[in-house]
């Protein structure tokens, strides 16, 4: 069973969607913290990548929960 991602979860950017991010600045495989969720149906998961000093909005399908 796949659990929904929650604020505070450690996540990996693993499935880039070229339709919503044709010029993404976040490298695939980067690990960050889910810091905010929104009700927007497309880009609704805000992830902060402390090691990169970057933050970005993602679809849930672009992220993978890290344990």
Using CA atoms of 41, 22, 30, 44 in order, give the dihedral in degrees to the nearest 10.
Answer: -10
pLDDT band at 4 (very low <50, low <70, confident <90, very high): confident
Reported pTM = 0.84
pLDDT band at 1 (very low <50, low <70, confident <90, very high): very low
Count CB neighbours of 20 within 10 A: 13
Q: Say yes or no to pLDDT of 2 above 60.
A: no
Phi, psi of 44 (to 5 degrees): -125, 10
Q: Say yes or no to pLDDT of 39 above 50.
A: yes
């Amino acid at each position: 069973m796949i659990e929904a991602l929650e604020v505070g979860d450690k996540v990996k950017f693993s499935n880039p969607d070229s339709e919503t991010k044709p010029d993404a600045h976040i490298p695939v495989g980067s690990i960050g913290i889910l810091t905010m969720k929104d009700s927007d149906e497309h880009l609704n998961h805000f992830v902060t990548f402390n090691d990169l000093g970057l933050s970005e909005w993602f679809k849930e399908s672009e992220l993978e929960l890290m344990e």
